[in-house]
Structure 1
């Protein structure tokens, strides 16, 4: 990373770079003014002549901090059973990987364990952000409303039929912090549950599902707006019954997640997904487990045993579980597999998930001063979190 000169300008700091990637385009030679931890002005050198800046990165392109909406744990900390201190460690690990916001994501477990985990996550969220840590911007519940036929690593004995009454219990345990729910739309009670979730402000994602075309369309009509880890844990594509996958790839109004770790989805399918969804509806995720950053061995995701060997993470049954990468590495893989430019990848990891969730736009006056710094070869060189270099 280039050296940064420190010049104090009242309570303000100024940052300059080669370019800034925003949700609407690329700004050359930006001058960004920061007051404490928030952006107060974005201009160009032509618009704002300054004698000196606090941080100068003449060879760097800046992107927004990333948002991982599907994240289970890292460095031995599982969000299902981590203490609030453990969740703080999770947040710090994520910040150093360029993630400024995330949704801690449940896995299917005994209902009492899930309720306890939601209460703990809510306590962490309500305590506010820790210094040097990513912000938990809500909670994603992945389970228990999943198909037995496409449950993946989720234990069959803890799957439950969806109902507004059960969702209300989960919502109350989270103290209103649920932001996203994965649900199989074909299950009895699913459509009523989706409608109730929408009334609470929860975004609904179709996934872990054997849904047909008509069942998927019914879920979208009820209010689902996105799809969970496209291609994985879905009915296979068929030319006469396109099923959930065909609808997900065809619908221009539906967002779609993808795990870009080189294990879950082949490069050809990553490129097909990008062509189908385009730069406005595709969302990169990790599905990252607590075993990420740990040596080969045996670990747990919720109550499920998973084994790490090299780049693979599998259950005792041999089922591919979540990934062991962070979102900055997913962006690297995406750039390599697709040849897309960095501004597109940054949208998939920052702007699109935020827009899907209805969160405030990043990199505008009033937003947190969260940036990733990229070099001329597309390599990530560092992170600025709330106006401070990590």
Structure 2
């Protein structure tokens, strides 16, 4: 059955349409036209794509079964996320392999969630660890960190049945460049992070194929005026994307303003780095095989930040508040840019034949709902 969705405006990946009339059939867009003026004050945008998230609602991707992963997806879609990359964390080898197998099962056999409720779709896996620096490991357990190894990566990819699509790696590690070249040739995007890399080592990684950075500023060698390091080099390169966790905890708002000014609306990417404590009260939760204590919305393992409880709708609101950027620009940081970086532009493009996935914002710019496959998420 053909249905229509109308609004005051539609923000696309390249511009805006006034008084859009979106025709939808079987959950997909049939056509988008500009209609007559109406009384709506709502704005439609593309749905979000979170490329760095570890879990939510007490469920962690390293340990959850298909029903737990479905619950995460059901929660994410209420926060505007239509697609995501479930993200691993450094852990014992067998735990990682089993997690990759479970995630592959869910990607290949997606669930519709509880009672057929709309559910965000995992479109690949982000392998964060074990190829990270001991010096900037954050909460990644030191005992399970490994040097880059093509054979081990291939073992991970075999367990994931080819669904690893993004990998975090520290450029300065032995054999990092060989692994970057190998993974890139296999269609995996490489993002630089958890690293003490110098500028020279970062540039070598980019030349080998790295295209992005993992939560820029966090778990990285800081900028020095004589050694720009990984942060300075990534900021200087116009062709490299850069994630940021815009929760006001991981990165000061002034640095978020600097990040957006330098990387611009084409290369900045919003991520949540959300963990199992997202969407539930403060308490003690797990990330991989270790505990994280959450108090007042801050996630700590000992004295080290361990992910976040940020949701993508809040990240979009925060970046507008911190920088003064427009709703359209903020949304593109959470939809178009991650999709382009991943080579999945179709996930943020609104055109005939694509899923009718939208976010709804009110006149004040607040996120008020998600439309998934043409259906308003309750």
Query: TM-score range, shorter-chain basis?
Result: over 0.9
TM-superposed CA distance for 1:325, in Å, is 1.3
The residue that corresponds to 2:305 in the other structure is: 320
Q: 1:129 to 1:20 in 2, by over 3 A?
A: farther
TM-superposed CA distance for 1:128, in Å, is 2.5
The residue that corresponds to 1:378 in the other structure is: 365
Question: 1:329-369: CA deviations, max 9, x gaps?
Answer: 11111111111000000100000000000114221211110
Q: How does 1:21-40 map to 2 (within 5 A)?
A: 21-40=11-30
Query: Does the 8 Å contact 1:17/1:59 carry over to 2?
Result: yes
CA distance in structure 2 between the partners assigned to 1:301 and 1:28 by the alignment: 44
**Is 2:283 the counterpart of 1:308?**
no
The residue that corresponds to 1:287 in the other structure is: 273
Gaps of 5+ in 1: 1-10, 50-55
TM-superposed CA distance for 1:129, in Å, is 4.8
TM-superposed CA distance for 1:324, in Å, is 0.5
TM-superposed CA distance for 1:154, in Å, is 0.4
Aligned residue among 299, 323, 326 for 1:338: 323
Aligned residues: 371
The residue that corresponds to 2:73 in the other structure is: 91
CA distance in structure 1 between the partners assigned to 2:29 and 2:365 by the alignment: 24
The residue that corresponds to 1:4 in the other structure is: none
Gaps of 5+ in 2: none
Aligned residue among 138, 143, 154 for 2:129: 143
Secondary structure at the counterpart of residue 149 of structure 1: coil
**Is 2:203 the counterpart of 1:217?**
yes
CA distance in structure 1 between the partners assigned to 2:289 and 2:111 by the alignment: 28
Query: Does the 8 Å contact 1:148/1:156 carry over to 2?
Result: yes
Q: CA RMSD in A?
A: 1.2
Query: Does the 8 Å contact 1:20/1:63 carry over to 2?
Result: yes
CA distance in structure 1 between the partners assigned to 2:279 and 2:327 by the alignment: 25
CA distance in structure 1 between the partners assigned to 2:365 and 2:358 by the alignment: 15
**Is 2:144 the counterpart of 1:162?**
no
CA distance in structure 1 between the partners assigned to 2:145 and 2:85 by the alignment: 21
CA distance in structure 1 between the partners assigned to 2:9 and 2:314 by the alignment: 21
**TM-score (normalizing by structure 2):** 0.96
**Is 2:218 the counterpart of 1:232?**
yes
Q: How does 1:18-97 map to 2 (within 5 A)?
A: 18-45=8-35, 58-97=40-79
TM-superposed CA distance for 1:136, in Å, is 0.2
CA distance in structure 2 between the partners assigned to 1:80 and 1:174 by the alignment: 13
Secondary structure at the counterpart of residue 5 of structure 2: strand
